[in-house]
Amino acid sequence: MDKNKTILVVGAGGFIAGHLIKRILENGNKVVACDIKPKEFWFQDFDNVENHYSMDMKDISNCMKVTNKVNYVFNMACNMGGMGFIENNKAECMQSVLINTNLLIASKENKIEKYFFSSSACAYNISKQDKVFIEGLKEEDAYPADPEDGYGWEKLFSERMCRHFFEDYGIQVRIARYHNIYGPYGTYDGGREKAPAALCRKVIEAKKKNAGTIDVWGDGNQTRTFLYVDECVEGTLRLFDSNCSDPMNIGSDEQVSINQMIEIIENISGISNLKKNHQLDKPKGVRGRSSNNDFAKKVLNWSYKMSLKEGLTKTFKWIENEMTREGSNISRFTKS
CB atoms closer than 10 angstroms to residue 323: 18
Contact call for residue 24 and ligand GKE (CB under 6 A): no
**Residue 36 CA: distances (Å) to CA of 14, 89, 117, 199, 200:** 10, 18, 17, 28, 28
Find the farthest-apart pair of alpha carbons in the chain and give their distance in angstroms, rounded.
60
From 36, 55, 63, 122, residue interacting with ligand GKE (rule: CB under 6 A): 122
Closest CA to 244 of 193, 185, 176: 176
Minimum separation from the CB atom of position 113 to ligand GKE (A): 28
Minimum separation from the CB atom of position 57 to ligand GKE (A): 19
Q: Is the dihedral of CA 46, 113, 96, 86 positive or negative?
A: negative
Contact call for residue 195 and ligand GKE (CB under 6 A): yes
Which residue's CB is nearer to ligand GKE, number 35 or number 251? Answer: 251
Which uninterrupted H or E stretch holds 6? strand 6-10
Contact call for residue 71 and ligand GKE (CB under 6 A): no
Cβ neighbours of residue 5 under 8 Å, at least 6 residues apart?
29, 71, 72, 113
From 180, 187, 245, 257, residue interacting with ligand GKE (rule: CB under 6 A): 180
Contact call for residue 79 and ligand GKE (CB under 6 A): no
Contact call for residue 83 and ligand GKE (CB under 6 A): yes
Q: Which one from 72, 151, 178, 188 is the annotated catalytic residue?
A: 151
Q: Which of residues 275-314 bind ligand GKE (CB under 6 A)?
A: 282-285
Contact call for residue 217 and ligand GKE (CB under 6 A): yes
Minimum separation from the CB atom of position 261 to ligand GKE (A): 8
Cβ neighbours of residue 65 under 8 Å, at least 6 residues apart?
none
Please state, in angstroms and rounded to a whole number, the distance separating the CA atoms of residues 59 and 99.
Answer: 8
Number of residues that bind ligand GKE (CB under 6 A): 26
Active site annotation includes 124: no
Residues interacting with ligand GKE, by CB under 6 A?
80, 82-84, 86, 120-122, 178-180, 193-195, 198-199, 216-218, 222, 224, 258, 282-285
Q: Which residues are known catalytic residues? A: 151
